[in-house]
Amino acid sequence: MKFVNSALFFLAAASTASAFVPAPQFGVRAPVAPSNFELEAKKSISDLADADLKGKKVLVRCDVNVPLDGKKITDDTRIRASIPTIEYLKKKGAIVTVCSHLGRPDGPEDKFSLGPAAERMAELLGEDVKLAPDCIGEEVKAMVDAAKEGDVIMLENTRFYKEETKNESSFVEKFAAPFDLFVNDAFGTAHRAHASTEGVTKFLSPAVSGFLLAKELEYLDGAISNGEKPMAAIVGGSKVSSKITVLEALLEKCDKIIIGGGMVFTFLKAKGLNVGTSLVEDDFVDTAKAVLAKADKLGKTILLPSDIIIADEFSADANSKTVAADAIPDGWMGLDNGPETTKEQKEFLSDCKTVIMNGPMGVFEIEKFSKGTFGIVDILADLTKENGAITIIGGGDSVAACEQSGRASEMSHISTGGGASLELMEGKVLPGVAALADK
């Protein structure tokens, strides 16, 4: 097969376990040139003078929405990613107060407390991070007023209040009251116009980006707008319906596309193949046909798996075997790519200079269905190490897979955003970025 030159965008599942089974919602070496709107027009903390920060009460919106097993953090990537901005502000003599959400609580719930995040941040900073009992109110104001230069406080979960997501002005005013200025360093929520991401900018000035947000935009927005070629895309997830806008956008920008994850089977069905009991979105089979037709019209190459690891049930104890993609028997479901597909992907991506990965290839929590995911991680790490390619990893499961593989440090950038990444790739303006001060 003759492959077209390309840069790699890999967008896949938001959730591994739901990536292949019928379930609700599926899911640098040389810096990438930033886009005109997102980077060049907005201020960051590096644009502020020392006098703008020393002694100032700075509210920092971080994204510490980390996965928990009870009270144990299972992946601290997002917390670690927030440290450079916090350390910079501390060194400049700011009084730092971190805010974030965690999960989707229905009012105050102990299991959604930011206590574990505050403890982990304290360990990473090497000093105490005091957890406030609330995110608004007199007690919070008293803690902030009593803090010294270089101190770090973490407010309790902002989503303990429904007004946070509704961005209610009266709540925002109370939320912003103790502070002098605002830093948004939460790319993962930049696509939401919430009180702690967008509303607060109406009450605090200046409102600027932190290092993480600026870096995310530099890589993701820059890769899409001005990514070094060859350029490609890998799009996954369970539902074609949730990724169709991204597919349409990337078809215009990329020469090659790899489709992976559960949505593979909607495309295989669109090609007239039997998919057994694999996850299929029947209402979007025609949409998949249209995508394939558009790719042909544009002269783009879409790579689908040539072999699939199938199982007779969704279980670690299931019977499994590898079959050709056109030979999935009735009563069996696809749960991972086969070895030939991984080989083809390696060749397909061998000349890529830019890579964005967002989602696993299979149910990698189950060992027998993990080889496709770890295989693509190895491909991308090798592209970075050996070819100098820019590799950008996004989405919680993608990050977890890279961490488990031991090769996360070999990627150019580990993104902390899921939905924000997708909306940026669709060409949408992110409210949390648009609200920041212009240069």
Residues that are catalytic: 78, 239, 396, 419
Residues with Cβ within 8 Å of residue 2, at least 6 apart in sequence: none
Determine whether 378 is exposed, middle or buried from the number of CB atoms within 10 Å of its CB (0-12, 13-18, 19+): middle
Q: CA-to-CA distance for 17 and 27, rounded, in angstroms?
A: 9
Residue of 342, 331, 359 whose CA lies nearest to 422: 359
Question: Hey, is 339 helix, strand or coil?
Answer: helix
Q: Of 32, 15, 36, whose CA–CA distance to 24 is shortest?
A: 15
Task: Give the tokens for residue 388.
Answer: 């100098």
CA distance 195 to 265: 40
3-state DSSP helix/strand/coil percent for the chain, to nearest 5?
A: 40, 15, 45
Residue pair 306/340 in contact (Cβ under 8 Å)? The answer is yes
Six token digits for residue 271: 């090609």
Q: Is the dihedral of CA 343, 26, 67, 313 positive or negative?
A: negative
Q: Spell out the alpha helix ranges (H) of 36-114.
A: 50-53, 77-91
Q: How far apart are CA 263 and CA 221, in angstroms?
A: 25
